[in-house]
Structure 1
């Protein structure tokens, strides 16, 4: 999908100014320098993927709750949008191609799926929470995104539809790279996940090369857990 690109701010439009500030003050300084990614962030309306109660926070450097009730609990449970700079850095490092088929685990509000869909051939996004799956579908429809499908499914334990994939991205953290998901990568494909436990997590990029998998962990961050992925057992003395 091709969009007209415009990264300049409009001082008379506070939303446009806030979006510009997000890109220039949060995202670009975090080593997101890919011009195509920056342009995409300027035209995909993040505020349209944020619940109305938090719309004023759409461009803040925070994790935005997606479900009603207690905001801190929603973030703790992983029912939140990642920080804009984290989403942007993941998108940059995955290097999505126009021919790529992409699997996302954790649709949330559908924003990351929208970004991916503008660069890929097709996106399949799995969301375990029914209310969030409905939210993501509606947001994507409203945004006119036609090459992304959201399924209400458990990406940690259930069947994976429509694979294999060129790219798999986990929109949340896990204790370790999920071996089961690696089997759904095409040869030459890559999986991006935030791996580890607080206070140390790293974005880990795994490339499949035949029967081998090569990994790199280029940057640190913190993100809420995705549900049902294995956790390491504690030490016993």
Structure 2
């Protein structure tokens, strides 16, 4: 029988801590939340490896290092509300639920959204709601949000999502640039999101987050 608890500890000790992720709430969440239930059954044995996991449909579960460093850079507070875009089967949502007051998650695959909500309930996560909808549109009715995190690559961030960020809020995503990519954190100041480089990482671009062509006469 696979000892997933030992694998989870090894993931934190070899992938997360060495990446300068030191905030106790993040370490605690990653030690507490099992990863293997939140991946397709065929990937359970690979749940703790240090790379993006292909969950189907050009979608990935971000590698532990990338997700942990994004959470670290966002500096999420216990009283805040988060928006989790492209939550997959809910692993990132479960982590966020450990760190903040409430999480709204958006998933564009209806079956996956339903399964994510069921898995979160099964694992005692009662401060999160998974909504089925278009990823690039977010969940405006439940906003604004203190924190937005996008679980996949982007070429650009739709204005609709930036609009859902509260003044003083933070947004994190992987910008697909060149052969790799960069994670940037955006800070909303005076109604404008200012982006700052955080670290290098890669992920496939999500549907709706491709570069929009601008035609000029």
State yes or no: 1:47 paired with 2:36. Answer: yes
Corresponding residue pairs, total: 214
Contact 2:138-2:160 within 8 A present in 1 as well? no
Q: Distance in 1 between matches of 2:34 and 2:46?
A: 13
CA RMSD of aligned residues (A): 2.0
- Give the gaps of 5 or more residues in structure 1: 1-12, 67-73
Partner of 1:136: 116
Q: Distance in 2 between matches of 1:47 and 1:157?
A: 29
Contact 2:143-2:164 within 8 A present in 1 as well? yes
Deviation at 1:58, TM superposition (A): 1.3
Partner of 1:7: none
Q: 1:43 to 1:158 in 2, by over 3 A?
A: closer
Deviation at 1:149, TM superposition (A): 0.5
State yes or no: 1:215 paired with 2:168. Answer: no
List structure 1 segments (4+ residues) > 4 angstroms apart after TM superposition. Answer: none
State yes or no: 1:110 paired with 2:90. Answer: yes
Partner of 1:70: none
Q: 1:33 to 1:138 in 2, by over 3 A?
A: same
Deviations along 1:191-234, whole A, 9 cap, x unmatched? 11111334131111111122333221110110122111232549
Correspondence 1:1-237 to 2 at 5 A:
14-66=3-55, 74=56, 77-78=58-59, 80-157=60-137, 160-233=140-213
Partner of 1:6: none
Contact 2:154-2:173 within 8 A present in 1 as well? yes
Q: 1:206 to 1:42 in 2, by over 3 A?
A: same
Output the TM-score relative to the length of structure 2. 0.91
1:161 counterpart SS class: helix
Contact 1:173-1:223 within 8 A present in 2 as well? yes
